[in-house]
Amino acid sequence: MRVAFISEHASPLATIGGEDAGGQNIHVAALASAMSRSGAEVRVYTRRDDPSLPQTVPFTDGVLVDHIDAGPPEFLEKDRLAPFMPAFAAQLRERWAEWSPQAVHAHFWMSGLAGLDAARKHRIPIVQTFHALGGEKRRHQGAKDTSPEHRIADEKALARNVDHIVATATAEAFELVRMGAPRERITVIPCGVDRSLFSAKGPAEARDGMCARLVCIGRLVERKGIDDVIRALALVPNAELIVAGGPDAGSLDGDAECTRLRALAASCGVEGRVIFRGRIPHAAVPALLRSADVAVCYPWYEPFGIVPLEAMSCGVPVVAAAVGGLVDSVIDGVTGALVPPRNPQLLAATLTSLLLSRARLGRLGASGMQHAARYEWRRIAADTLDVYEKVAGARRVAVRAS
């Protein structure tokens, strides 16, 4: 099957953990690669953000990244990209006149806008994955939400007009139905985990064995809730917190969120127990996770969350906020613990209780490894390809009927 991925701001070539580079980049890269191993031919269309980038870059066997000129060829925050989607769509229409995909999969709402426009022109079925929904973001961030005002309306229109939606979590599927998406056109398929990279076998980063180690991995943005983890740390004795993500280590001093978090750690009296690593290579993440007693993922909201899967696959228990996709992936009391968000006191009590029992940590870690096996990318790709076959078949029937 020939499949077109559209990921307007999240290129599979991007450095993970940087600004506007995170879970979606991993998802697009891993899903495309897994599909190619199943025999599909995948082209990933993403916006050119560097003038030196060639138009096409081979990613893996069977996967080609195709750069689209839409807006200036430089990095722009994703919330500034909507005005360039008509130009993005126009180039897609030109590309697909030469290479015709059998299915289009748009990742994120702006990719959906461009993809729906171009797919209609060529009568290609389109599948949408939102990765995050504007309504949820607005509820949690309020005035701090920098999304365009028209995002929520655009997402509602997409939910009603695309051929199918792949939601990454049950909570997202419920939200989509409330937005007007037909139930029969929604399939829940979670994100996956690379179990060849994330496993309990392999080196662990060296650490001071005198204290427990907590690890947070993700972008340094307020909604990730790292400030609440720092507040909790002040109530957890004999433990350190490693925070990986954000800019390169050499640029942390100039990062506003890192500066805020460092000041908070100082005010809580734990500045010596919080270590900011900055962005680390994705290949270095497994060793860091293996060195942890507990991986902590405590955002205000999280559409899915790949880091907990990576931690569980490495045999590390996860303490996570009971929000969004984390409720699906982390089994409370089996692979870790779920804690209501924005409650550092309860988070601290949960962490303290877990760290007091090495045997319990071991049981949770072993269960997590078994649970993570359900999220292998091979299985995720197969389920997604089944959706493409379904919508492509329905489109063929509709064309014959017309």
Query: What one-letter code names the amino acid at 381?
Result: A
Do 84 and 153 fall within a single domain? yes
Residue 173 lies in a domain: yes
Q: What percent of the chain has pLDDT over 90?
A: 90
Average pLDDT over residues 135-151: 91
Q: Does the pLDDT value for residue 18 go beyond 50? A: no
Predicted structure pTM score: 0.91
Do 258 and 110 fall within a single domain? no
pLDDT at 16: 45
Do 259 and 180 fall within a single domain? no
**Could you identify the residue written with the tokens 């400030």?**
227
CA dihedral sign, ordered 103, 108, 112, 114: negative
> 146-175: per-residue pLDDT in tens?
999 999 999 999 999 999 999 999 999 999
Tokens encoding 296: 């902590």
Beta-carbon contacts of residue 19 (< 8 Å; ≥ 6 apart): 75, 77, 219, 247
Do 216 and 347 fall within a single domain? yes
Residue 202 lies in a domain: no
**Could you identify the residue written with the tokens 């942390």?**
252
Range of the domain at 296: 212-374
Residue 150 lies in a domain: yes
Q: Whole-angstrom Cα distance, residue 75 to residue 320? A: 32
What is the CATH classification number for the domain harbouring 41?
Answer: 3.40.50.2000
> 207-255: per-residue pLDDT in tens?
987 899 999 999 899 999 999 999 999 999 999 999 999 999 999 999 9
The DSSP output letter for 20 is T
The number of folded domains in the chain is 2
Q: Whole-angstrom Cα distance, residue 126 to residue 161? A: 9
pLDDT at 123: 94
Do 172 and 268 fall within a single domain? no
Q: How many CB atoms lie within 10 A of CB 203?
A: 9
